[in-house]
Amino acid sequence: MVERANKPSALSATPGLAPQPTVTFSDDNSRVTAELPTGETVEILLYGATVISWKDSRGDEKLWLSEAAKLDGSKPVRGGIPLVFPVFGTAPNHASASKLPQHGFARNNRWEFLGKSTSESAAGKQAADLSVKLDFGLSSSAVSNSDLWPFKFNLIYSVTLNRENLTTSLVVTNDDDKPFECQVLMHTYLRVKDITQVKITGLDGASYTDKVDGASTKSQSGDVTITGETDRVYTPKGGPSDPVSVVESGKTPYTVTRDNLSNVVVWNPWTEKAEGMADFAPKDGYKNMLCIEPGAVGAWQTLEAGDAFEGAQTITIPY
């Protein structure tokens, strides 16, 4: 065969097709980044399958990530979207979850990248219609501290980037021959400009557990504002179909919708709590972040042998 002296190394695009989403890995294979042709990006750390960045087409970051966050796999990431499974917080009085670390082990084990898929594209298809989905997996056999929770399970986590939104979904499968109980939550840190100018709509009339006030049960009246340390587990009146919106200075930068996740945790550490967290930086960073965390944590989800639980959130931004 005759070698061409100047043969092309690769074709940059297939003739006739619209530009396609791209997926790249970091040099050390610790993270994966997806980018749409229109410029939106999402970056996921394989440690914890933690989304650590989500930017719009202008390059504006939508997630808050602590400047002191550990991204080397030495501890869970402070910021982005850490995954909580199989326990929310700690459960010292729960038979099977009492020995688990804070928020379980999904966020502090390395996940396997399972692959990508993109929306079907064809000649003339609008770039705004494109999307890319990244799938990650974690099984009980790959968990470093699996002896603390003696059940066989499989987790599939999907991160889907569209031009106007980001969707994260988690499927939990019980691979054991006996039932287990679990909790699931997506600990989303949204970036805001000024927390004192923020209100949260969609929670009026919802009952909530106020963890700052002795885990007392209360009812929300009107919109939620943040004026001090806030740690509340809400159960919106309309169920998972009720959207929750963040409104800042009269505009709505984020609307969060849920699928099969009945709770919404609202969290901001404020001054003293932020000071006490070594991996929270800058210390006044609480002014620029707000956690809106969809989850199923108000009660334990019971999965029989072979059953699966799926929950998802979609965060929509104005375009």
**Which residues does the annotation mark as catalytic?**
187, 293
**Dist CA 128 CA 148 (whole Å):** 45
Q: What is the largest CA-CA distance in the chain?
A: 79
Token reading at 308: 């699966």
Residue for token digits 């919802």? Answer: 206
Residue 126 assigned as binding residue: no
- Complete DSSP assignment for 34-77: EE-TTS-EEEEETBTTEEEEEE-TT--B-B-B-TT---SSSS--
Q: Is 4 annotated as a binding residue?
A: no
| DSSP secondary structure letters along 156-203 | EEEEEE-SSEEEEEEEEEE-SSS-EEEEEEE--EEE-S-GGGEEEES-
Assigned token pair, 26: 């970091």
Task: List Cα–Cα distances, 174 to 19, 86, 303, 306, 307, in angstroms.
Answer: 40, 12, 6, 5, 6
Residue 183, marked binder: no
| Phi, psi dihedrals of residue 32, rounded to the nearest 5° | -130, 140
Q: Can you tell me the distance from the alpha carbon of 99 to that of 90, in angstroms, rounded to the nearest whole number?
A: 8
Q: Is the distance from CB of 242 to CB of 256 less than 8 angstroms?
A: no
Of 301, 110, 86, 78, the C-alpha closest to 187 is 78
Annotated binding site for substrate: 78, 102, 107
Annotated binding site: 78, 102, 107
